[in-house]
Structure 1
Amino acid sequence: MAGMAAVGSMAADMAARKDRLARLKARVPKPHEASFFFYDAHFQSEAVKILPGEYFVFNEDVLIMTTLGSCIAVCLWDRQAKIGGMNHFMLPDNGGGASDSGRYGSFAMELLINEMLKMGASRMTLEAKVFGGGAVISGMSSINVGERNTQFVMEYLKTERIPVVSKDVLEIYPRKVCFFPKSGKAMVKRLAPSNPEAIVAQERAAAQKAAVPATTGGSIDLF
């Protein structure tokens, strides 16, 4: 009987996961909101992948993930409301011009914070974890995209008085970042510096734009 009960519980759990994934896929995304949902077998969780220029905010423990080179991802978490979100931007700004693209840090941060507040978060209880800014392609160090991105986001969060409780930035590594928005748990995996094609494409796109003169909480787990 115990075995039958366990099988029944497993079936119910699988059905619930399928239902939640179907609900996520049926969402009508807001502008710049991530919409690539899938089931992640490693974490056994429904997941959403953040592409450059996108964000996602949620109050359930779905997995939010992205892959970074010189780009930055900020994971914001409200430790009281248990709401979290992540963005992914490529450059600090649009060369001094206004931009409503999530590929630029100023807009990406504003977008993420505003969506957190709309869902019920408070600025007073927000904290941040910051990832990325790696110099992952040799020969592009003179442009310093990763350093510029990192400097921008750290100054932005300081100005907004959002404490950075942990970070994994700079150096030469691409990174895979995973974040659970309800618990605030973030994990980062440093990838081999042999540059997957998708990251190389992102880096070259960022470099081309950068070549234009431009005016629980605190821990991170490696997995």
Structure 2
Amino acid sequence: MTLTTPAFNRPSSTLNSSPRLEQLKARVPKPGEASFFFYDAHFKTEAVKILPGEYFVYNEDVLIMTTLGSCIAACLWDRNAKVGGMNHFMLPDAGDGGADSGRYGSYAMELLINEMMKKGASRMTLEAKVFGGGAVISGMSTINVGERNTAFVMDYLKTERIPVVSKDVLEIYPRKVCFFPASGKAMVKRLAPTNPDALVAQDRAAAKRVLPQNTGGGSVDLF
């Protein structure tokens, strides 16, 4: 007689694994490409987490997710090619150098668009959903990192003639963003602003970076 192990006794790696997840984990990431893959129990699908300075483009409905404070995530989608991607940048530009990094808006947007086009997308049929830019650290409003990031990405998309079909930006909330690149569906969850420790550390680092040298919309799905 063959005995089977009850599901609750099996290792979690067995329960939460799939051929597609193993395939994703085996990828050799390009510079700046996200590489933290996991199984998301809430959405019951393979997922990748975008860290600051990273991006990810795909043509299947894996979950692309990130968590934002003053940073911005731009989600681009081509409805014809059914390909989408997300980036996560911390600042509009590098100021005195080092602009070839996904931490900065100009490079992050170019990187995302170029990777989209490599997978069959066209600039003419791209649309965008924009998230983030929150003022999550009290007493730092004079630096306006979130406002600067938001203004940058909106101006960039307007210049590139990429319509923004929905956005959830500014205010005081950290946000968790989930994006499905094959369908273009995006969801955002506003997080409690009281204890976003990792985001506070991230935003303080960004804020220091933008200090002057002489000082030392549409509808959005909630889940």
TM-score (norm. length: structure 2): 0.89
Give the aligned partner of residue 154 of structure 2.
Answer: 154
Instruction: Give the match's secondary structure for 2:176.
Output: strand
Give the aligned partner of residue 110 of structure 1.
Answer: 110
Q: Deviations over 1:78-133 (max 9, x none)?
A: 01110000000000001153511100000000000000001100111100000000
**Which residues in structure 2 correspond to 1:160-199 (within 5 Å)?**
160-199=160-199
Q: CA deviation at 1:15?
A: 8.9
CA contact (8 A) 1:95 1:212 kept: no
Instruction: Give the match's secondary structure for 1:179.
Output: strand
Which aligned runs of 4 or more in structure 1 are off by greater than 4 angstroms? 14-17
Instruction: Give the match's secondary structure for 1:21.
Output: helix
Quote the Cα distance in structure 2 between the aligned partners of 1:25 and 1:119.
Answer: 19
Give the aligned partner of residue 121 of structure 1.
Answer: 121
Quote the Cα distance in structure 1 between the aligned partners of 2:91 and 2:212.
Answer: 12
Q: CA deviation at 1:212?
A: 3.4
Q: CA deviation at 1:197?
A: 1.6
Superposition CA RMSD, Å: 1.7
Q: CA deviation at 1:198?
A: 1.2
Quote the Cα distance in structure 1 between the aligned partners of 2:193 and 2:15.
Answer: 39
Q: Deviations over 1:137-164 (max 9, x none)?
A: 0011000000000000000000000000
Give the aligned partner of residue 25 of structure 1.
Answer: 25
Gaps of 5+ in 2: 1-13
Quote the Cα distance in structure 1 between the aligned partners of 2:15 and 2:26.
Answer: 16
Give the aligned partner of residue 8 of structure 1.
Answer: none
Instruction: Give the match's secondary structure for 1:151.
Output: helix
Q: CA deviation at 1:62?
A: 0.2
CA contact (8 A) 2:16 2:39 kept: no
Give the aligned partner of residue 60 of structure 1.
Answer: 60
Paired residues in the alignment total 207
Quote the Cα distance in structure 1 between the aligned partners of 2:210 and 2:16.
Answer: 45
Q: Deviations over 1:28-47 (max 9, x none)?
A: 00000000000000000100
CA contact (8 A) 1:188 1:221 kept: yes
1:130 aligns with 2:118: no
Give the aligned partner of residue 77 of structure 2.
Answer: 77
TM-score (norm. length: structure 1): 0.89
